[in-house]
Amino acid sequence: MAPLLCVLGTIGLATTAELLLPGGTPRPLAWCAVLVALPASVVALHSVTRGPRLRISAQRLRAIHGVLFLGTYFGVLCPLGWTRWVLIELRWYGVPFFSLIFLLLPAMALSLSLAPLLFWTQERTASSMQQRAPSFRRWFLRSVGLVSVPLGVFCGVVFVASYLWELPLLTRAGLTVSKSFEVASAVVLFLLLFAASPFLIQLAWPARELAPGALRDRLEALTRRLRMRLRTIGVCDDRTRYSINACAVGLLPGTRSVLFTQGLRDHLTDDDIIAVFSHELAHLKRRHLVSYALLATVFLLSLAPFERVCEGMHTWIAGGLFAAYALVYWGFIFGFISRRLELEADLTAVDMSGFNRYATLLKKMSVLLGPRAKRAGWRHASVERRLAFLHATADSPEVRLSFVRTARRLRTGIHLLLVLALGGWLGSVVTEFRAPQGAVALERAQRALEEAVVFHTLLERPASARWFTRGPERVQATYHALMERTTTDLELAAGDFPHETERLRGILEGLGEKE
């Protein structure tokens, strides 16, 4: 989970830097110094936190590593001028795919500088658990695979979206400035990726089929008893070989699978694995993945009315409101619902495998996790809380019935949220549809003119002889195309918005005189 969160944070920072175009002066010597300073900071952090007076758990230490990594990457992008160097000096502004590749390079370099230290910490953890750590080469290749898949998917999506967004049909219809169309495109794309997630997970987290034998026969018998069909029951030889984890994947029938880590196979008995398998099957049986997909869809659909509310606000104020909204939604609402769904999966797993077997599993997990068993996570309640919940439901049928009713109300609430979000999105569609044609043309003209101003800045800078610099001919061709598009849209908007049109024409003529 930690590498994936770092990848998502890296993508978010790179995308934000490209949109905001920060103006820090490029400092190449500082970039090189950061590659040394970050590993040195991690070494100093380990030496301090591993002392007798200040000991920090491995989980919190990984969180600190992630914050330090993302903070350093942000420093390289903005204050140290990497974004300005890529977008202005190298003239890759307006080419989303290639500019994103360049903006991600510092994160890749920082990851490579940290790789030996991260492997060292994994090796120490393995030795403390009396496990043999994998070789550095094997660990490194696994880590690269885990990180490169989401990055590759994101870059591919950006490439396809940037190509489609330039189609004349979308431009003439005004869909390139339609916020509701952008949101609808994001929802469709998300659902496609979520449906394809089992295959993407297989690329990032290679798994082999569970070997035939008594355990596999028992797992398949449980699956048949529940009238479910799984694509595969896999075992992942993960990066560390000692992590204890399992997951259920697959939104659509025919793609559903249950995956175990090799560490889980090494540490738990067959009865324990059956209990874990029951928990993962419960997620599929109760369609929790559908609930997660609906919650993500609600968030995306709500962005259309949210952007309408934030119209006219300063960029930083709107960005702060969006960050607060995302934090509340994903950190609190999604986390609360997810923890309740995990408890429902526990309760269903007890019905499948028996109370004693599942309670034994949780007790064993409490011993293996140590102090972490008392801490709740973002999406999971603590092991102690889960065990107490199962005892309460076993001792009192009223408690169980009350929780079942709560779970039903929770699903009803998710569907109501979806209806409200869909209504807000449809309201944005109606508002945009009723807007006069001149308003759409004026918004297109404003966007094109803003980009033309940036491209004019690119043309004013001296040409660079670097082979990876965007050629001035392409920049000039894009600049002239933006000027023509602005002129055409201003003519369409002149009848409805004469004063605003004259103001923009003045800016356009000023650019022409400078040229």
Q: Which residues of the chain have pLDDT under 50?
A: 130, 239-241
The secondary structure element, H or E, covering residue 35 is helix 28-49
Tell me which residue has tokens 């889980």. Answer: 264
Q: What is the pLDDT of residue 3?
A: 64
From CA 162, how far away is CA 212, in angstroms rounded? 47
Backbone angles phi, psi at 124, to 5 degrees: -65, -40
Q: Model pTM?
A: 0.82
Helices (H), 310-436: 315-326, 335-353, 355-369, 383-395, 397-434
Position 415 scores a pLDDT of: 95
Task: List the domain boundaries for the chain.
Answer: 2-140, 203-433, 435-514
pLDDT digits (tens, 9 = 90+) for 422-471: 999 999 888 877 777 788 788 888 888 888 888 888 887 776 656 678 88
Question: Cα(215)–Cα(297) distance, rounded to whole angstroms?
Answer: 38
* pLDDT for the residue 240: 46
Check residue 514 and give its pLDDT.
Answer: 59
144: DSSP letter: H
Determine the Cα–Cα distance for residues 356 and 272; give it in Å rounded to an integer.
Answer: 11
Assess contact for 293 and 194: CB atoms under 8 A. Answer: yes
For 75-103, give one letter per residue: b (16+ CB within 10 A) or e: bbbbebbbbbbbbbbbbbbbbbbbbbbbb
Q: Which string of DSSP letters, residue by residue, matches 203-272?
A: HHS-EEEPPSSHHHHHHHHHHHHTT---SEEEEE--SSS----EEEE-SSTT--EEEEEHHHHHHS-HHH
* SS (HEC) of 169-218: HHHHCCHHHCHHHHHHHHHHHHHHHHHCHHHHHHHHCCEEECCCCHHHHH
Judge contact between 514 and 456, C-beta under 8 A: yes
Q: Calculate Rg over the CA atoms of the chain.
A: 27
At 399, the amino acid letter reads V
Q: Provide the sign of the torsion angle of the four alpha carbons 306, 311, 315, 317, taken in this order.
A: negative
* Contact between 81 and 24 (Cβ < 8 Å): yes
> What's the pLDDT tens digit per position in 374-425?
777 788 888 889 999 999 999 899 999 999 999 999 999 999 999 999 999 9
pLDDT of res. 24: 74
Instruction: Give Cα 157 distance to the centre of its chain.
Output: 13
Q: Which two tokens stand for residue 303?
A: 């962005």
